[in-house]
Amino acid sequence: MANALPGQKTGEVTATQNPFEFHVYGPRHLSSPSWWDLLRSSWKDPSYRRMVIACFIQGVYLLELDRQDKRDERTALAPQWWRHFMYRLSQTLVDERDGSIYGAVLEWDRRALLAGYAPFRPAGAPAAVVALRGTLLSGATFRRDVVDDLRFLAWDSLKGSVRFAGALAALRSAARRHGTGNVCVGGHSLGAGFALQVGKALAKEGVFVECHVFNPPSVSLATSLRGFAETAGEMWGYVRAWLPYVGSAAAADAGGEAKEVSLGRAGTAKWLPHLYINTNDYICCYYTDTAAGTATVTARGGSGGSKVAGGDGGIGKPGLARMLTVSKGPTKFLDAHGLQQWWADDVELQVALNHSKLIDRQLRSLYAAQPASPQVNQ
């Protein structure tokens, strides 16, 4: 996964400013919560929610860079990225093998809110956010990051990682403390892979936590092999349907049953992760691969998808996930894989309404039809 921290912008930073200070590199038009925000909460706006969670993840990148550059509390860059939204650092997730910071738990800062004469948290604002960064292609953490990249590439899973266990424990603890409806997890690149798999692990336990993943990895050897096997199985099914005396009616019935199971799965989904995809990013673009069948990525607004400049569109009937793709934004790979695009004011996003093979494959175990209980003859 590529480094998520692009270089300095020409003409925007003076010699005394760091290019990653919030007021330089961050969003231009996101205000801090105030007493007025209690009446009309910005957190109810999907665009605002997306932008703020992306900023929290950027803060985690900077936590590790602050550590590497030995910045103190006075010069640290990371706190700017959550204090602006009235959050505080509750816990850092540290890889004990090399001391690197790969995640953080951010909690709503009541003291900061009271200083602004606002007595309680705005509606929709999470009490806690678990934010997970992606790969940094520099510094001491490079080796551990790449090991997890290769782990995903080989096995399409991050469960064997020390960081998976740490992120899962942190998210489970936050859910117990604040309630599942008041907690969300978010990640970018490799961190998005962790966030998606940690959220899925809790969903299997019946704990449904809001999940936002930016540029999640979609390329792995295991996925490719499974895709090949499934394609071969589909082709064999077509061949069987044409063979004499095999019974095409039976094959059709089997296909109908499979479709019914898929419909049931989509209709009963309770955990719906939010995916943010740029199709020019070859690391995550395979999430947009489509297949005929039941829509697993659904949204309100008709059958063709809705384009909203800087917005996320409406979300409607349930599916297996909610996916937004960039319809107007960065096209070069490093920018398309970068995190900054997700808080940019001029980005145009399109709500995806297609059937995603990769999402269906990743989440099918959550919503597989339960076997019918055996009937006892009286």
What is the structure's pLDDT at 110? Answer: 81
Q: Which CATH architecture has domain 54-224+270-288+322-366?
A: 3-Layer(aba) Sandwich (3.40)
Lowest mean pLDDT: which of 127-136, 270-279, 290-299, 318-327?
A: 290-299
3-state secondary structure of 171: helix
Question: Is residue 25 over pLDDT 60?
Answer: yes
**Dist. CA 55–CA 22, nearest whole Å:** 9
Residues 55, 200, 282, CA angle at the centre, nearest 5°? 60
What is the structure's pLDDT at 248? Answer: 43
Higher pLDDT, 244 or 195: 195
What is the structure's pLDDT at 225? Answer: 42
User: Residue 223 has which token pair?
Assistant: 């996925």
What is the structure's pLDDT at 241? Answer: 57
What is the structure's pLDDT at 127? Answer: 96
Question: Is residue 168 over pLDDT 90?
Answer: yes
Residues of the chain with pLDDT > 70, as a percent, come to 67
Question: Is residue 335 over pLDDT 60?
Answer: yes
Lowest mean pLDDT: which of 167-176, 219-228, 318-327?
A: 219-228
Distances in Å between the Cα of 323 and the Cα atoms of 40, 208, 306, 342, 363 are: 26, 18, 12, 13, 14
**DSSP letter for each residue of 224-271:** HHHHHHHHHHHHHHHHHHHSTTS-HHHHHHHHHHHHHHHHHHHHH---
3-state secondary structure of 142: helix
What is the structure's pLDDT at 305? Answer: 38
What is the structure's pLDDT at 1? Answer: 52
**Dist. CA 195–CA 171, nearest whole Å:** 9
Burial of residue 117, with CB atoms counted within 10 A of its CB: 0-12 exposed, 13-18 middle, 19 or more buried: exposed
Residue type, position 112, single letter? A
Question: Is residue 28 over pLDDT 90?
Answer: no
Question: Is residue 177 over pLDDT 80?
Answer: yes
* Confidence at 288, pLDDT banded by 50, 70, 90: confident
Higher pLDDT, 30 or 147: 147
Q: Which of 23-27, 266-270, 295-299, 349-353 has the highest mean pLDDT?
A: 23-27
What is the structure's pLDDT at 237? Answer: 58
- What average pLDDT does the segment 331-337 reach? 92
φ and ψ at 19, to 5 degrees? -65, -15
φ and ψ at 171, to 5 degrees? -70, -40
Average pLDDT, the chain: 77
Domain-by-domain residue ranges, the chain? Answer: 54-224+270-288+322-366
- What average pLDDT does the segment 206-228 reach? 75
Question: Is residue 378 over pLDDT 80?
Answer: no
Residue with tokens 């093998």: 97
What is the structure's pLDDT at 147? Answer: 92
Higher pLDDT, 334 or 2: 334
Task: Specify the pTM.
Answer: 0.79
* Confidence at 299, pLDDT banded by 50, 70, 90: very low
